[in-house]
Amino acid sequence: MKTLTHTCHYTLCSYDELSEQDCHLIDAAKQAIKQSYAPYSHFHVGAATLLDDDTIVIGSNQENAAYPSGMCAERTALFYAGSAHPNRAVVALAIAAYTEGEFTATPISPCGACRQVILEMEQRHNHPIRILLYGTEGIIVVEGGIKELLPLTFSASFLK
Ligand code: THU
């Protein structure tokens, strides 16, 4: 028997320490929050994907009275990117959240279902997706992509 450990590598930084392009992507995620539809949770989330031609595609959470029919911001953005720009790799994804009149102090992190969809998008284009999680008290940058956040993945390789 042996015990293995999964380690998550990420960087904590401030907005000022980011590149202009990263700041721009975070700004887009924050802007996307304005299009969130969250009348039930009042938890508004915005996501912005950066494509390999520098296009930014945004998404926001879209809730539903039948709660499970709603959709997270990350998947809204990724599915939109995948359908409108099917031949473009997603190279980065920024996420921000707003509730009770302010952006969250702590960055929020994608849910399990969104992590699975991020993995699929990485594999679709064979390109890791840098993940930027915005909080007013600090920003988390996951340079290595979804492998840092989703160990022991289920992917297409099992279906062969
Ligand atoms: N939500 C997202 O859009 N992204 C996340 O990473 C976490 C949660 C949404 C789903 C739901 O509309 C609301 O936030 C509360 O869970």
Give the domain CATH number at 126.
Answer: 3.40.140.10
Atom of ligand 1 nearest to the CA of 40: 12
The answer as to whether 141 is a domain residue is: yes
Ligand 1 contact, 73 CB (< 6 A): yes
What is this structure's pTM?
Answer: 0.97
118 CB less than 6 Å from ligand 1?
Answer: no
Note the pLDDT of residue 145: 98
* Domain assignment of residue 14, yes or no: no
Does 13 reside within a domain? Answer: no
Nearest to 47 by CA among 38, 57, 59: 59
Determine the structural domain holding residue 60 and report its residue range: 23-151
Cα gap 23→95, rounded to integer Å: 12
What pLDDT is attached to residue 160? 79
Reading the chain (160 residues) residue by residue, the pLDDT tens digits are 999 999 999 999 999 999 999 999 999 999 999 999 999 999 999 999 999 999 999 999 999 999 999 999 999 999 999 999 999 999 999 999 999 999 999 999 999 999 999 999 999 999 999 999 999 999 999 999 999 999 999 999 899 7
Is 100 noted as a catalytic residue in this protein?
no
Regarding the beta carbon of 45 and ligand 1, being less than 6 Å apart is answered yes
Residue 71 belongs to some domain of the structure: yes
Please report whether residue 114 resides in a domain. Answer: yes
Does any domain span residue 98?
yes
Total structural domains within the chain: 1
Buried/exposed code over 102-123 (b: 16+ C-beta within 10 A; e: otherwise) = ebbeebbebeeebbbbbbebbe
**Has residue 18 been placed in a domain?**
no
* Domain-located, residue 10: no
